[in-house]
Amino acid sequence: MKQIKKVGIITGGGDCSGLNAVINGITKTAINKYGIEVIGYKRGYFGLYHNDFQVLDLKAVSGTMHEGGTMLKASNKDNLFNYRMQKSDGTYEYKDVSDVAVENMKKEGVDALIVVGGDGTLTSARDFWRKGIPVVGVPKTIDNDLPSTDVTFGYNTSLENIVDALDKIHTTAYSHDRVMVVEVMGRHTGWLALEGGIAGSADVILIPEIPYDIDKVVNKIKERQTQGKDFSIIVVSEGAKPVGGDVVVREIVEDSADSTRLGGIGEIVTKQIGERIENEVRYTNLAYIQRGGIASQFDREVGLRFGVKAVDLLMNEGSGCMVRLEGRSVTSVHLENVVGKGEMGETSEGGAKYVEADGEIVQAAKAIGITFGDE
């Protein structure tokens, strides 16, 4: 394996808290432990394609670990193996431009890449590894839906944001005897809604893995009213769907690796409940509030450790792997066993890790009276 003297960092996909901690871990370990240079490509693979980067030294990363988002910025629209390009007639075609990226790396003397992202971003990381580029992946998503790692950084901060919002919504729901429907992110998995809803004292949680019956949701609200509880909190994952129904698609972004954007199911649930009860029903979509903010202690620590491990892998013939949290230890797994697959026994399909509908967390929620609209 070629001696590594210079490493490039890419942060792709959606932003989340903890990304800057990863960049800190990579940069400081590369410089302090191995004496190698680091650059960061701006806006994910877009920067790699256009050779747009910044030099990362100890001063550049100082004081940034706690900050949300990514100092390198990010993009989820640039798959260099299937890149959208406009033709002279105004139409679009898709081309493999990965060789341009490789030439840019050679031009700047970049010997290896550390790629931080979700399934789409890591798929491209694997493809660059197949082209002979030394690569290590770092899993990132607020949705916690990546297989092969117990948890991803960014998820914990998002949960804290959700719980904080639910705590605030509780007070106004109680004051006005209202039913408050709160929509959260998660795509096709219900981790954010489930664990955020439990900690935020939700009465109903609707997740993609458990199709709901709206009448059973209403029955829960009425049951609470007979107990003298005239308000209810309903947390809805953006990928939730009724029995026999499908997800609500907010928009299609054609030039994105993740073209289908979900959203709006909470508004539908609000309308359906309002037609069946006399109480006022209000809808809140937490949207991008879930992504931002100061990184939690957990996400700072895990992100930092992921960054350290990524450099150690690169420098010790661990190219082609992804770092992961396994129990309390940061270990690794090969990218070929991650992209589009599940590992470690999780319920997974098409590259996502799903909530087990009859699993311990769901059963614990049901034991304390939370309804999922299925019974």
- The domains of the chain are located at 6-153+295-344, 155-291+355-367
Q: Residues 340, 140: contact at Cβ < 8 Å?
A: no
CA 355 to centroid of chain Cα atoms:
15
Can you give the pLDDT at residue 352?
76
**Looking at the annotation, which residues are catalytic?**
143
| Number of C-beta neighbours around residue 56 at 10 A | 24
Fold agreement (6-153+295-344, 155-291+355-367): yes
> How confident is the prediction for the chain on average, in pLDDT?
92
Count the neighbouring beta carbons within 10 Å of the beta carbon of residue 105: 21
pTM: 0.92
6-153+295-344 under CATH 3.40.50.450, yes or no:
yes
Share of the chain above pLDDT 70, in %: 94
Percentage of residues in the chain with pLDDT exceeding 90? Answer: 82
Q: Which of 62-66, 100-104, 231-235, 253-257 has the lowest mean pLDDT?
A: 253-257
Confidence of residue 261 (pLDDT cuts 50, 70, 90): confident
Q: Give dist(CA 110, CA 30) in Å, integer.
A: 13
Summarised one tens digit per residue, pLDDT across range 193-249 is: 999 999 999 999 999 999 999 999 999 999 999 999 999 999 999 999 999 999 888
Rounded distance, CA 10 to CA 23, Å?
9
Distance CA 83, CA 69 (A): 25
Q: State how far the Cα of 302 lies from the Cα of 324, in Å rounded to an integer.
A: 10
- Model confidence pLDDT, tens digit, residues 296-325: 999 999 999 999 999 999 999 899 999 999
- DSSP β-ladder status, 260-262 and 249-252: antiparallel
Is pLDDT of 1 > 70? no
Superfamily of domain 155-291+355-367: Phosphofructokinase domain (3.40.50.460)
Q: What is the pLDDT of residues 279-295, one digit of tens each?
A: 999 999 999 999 989 99
Residue 341 pLDDT level (bands cut at 50, 70, 90): low
Give pairs for 337-343: CB < 8 Å, separation 24+: 337/148, 338/122, 338/126, 338/137, 338/139, 338/146, 338/147, 338/148, 339/119, 339/122, 339/123, 339/126, 340/119, 340/123, 341/147, 341/148, 342/147, 342/148, 343/147, 343/148
Whether the Cβ atoms of residue 122 and residue 137 lie closer than 8 Å to each other: yes
Which residues, other chains included, contact 348 with Cβ-Cβ below 8 Å and sequence gap of 6+? 147, 341, 342, 354
pLDDT band at 253 (very low <50, low <70, confident <90, very high): low
What is the DSSP annotation of 319-357? Answer: TTEEEEEETTEEEEEEGGGTTT---TT--EETTEEPPPT
Rg (CA), the chain: 22
Closest listed residue to residue 154, CA positions, set 143, 162, 163: 143
Task: Note the pLDDT of residue 342.
Answer: 43
Digit-coded pLDDT (tens) for 69-125: 999 998 877 899 999 888 899 898 999 999 999 999 999 999 999 999 988 899 999
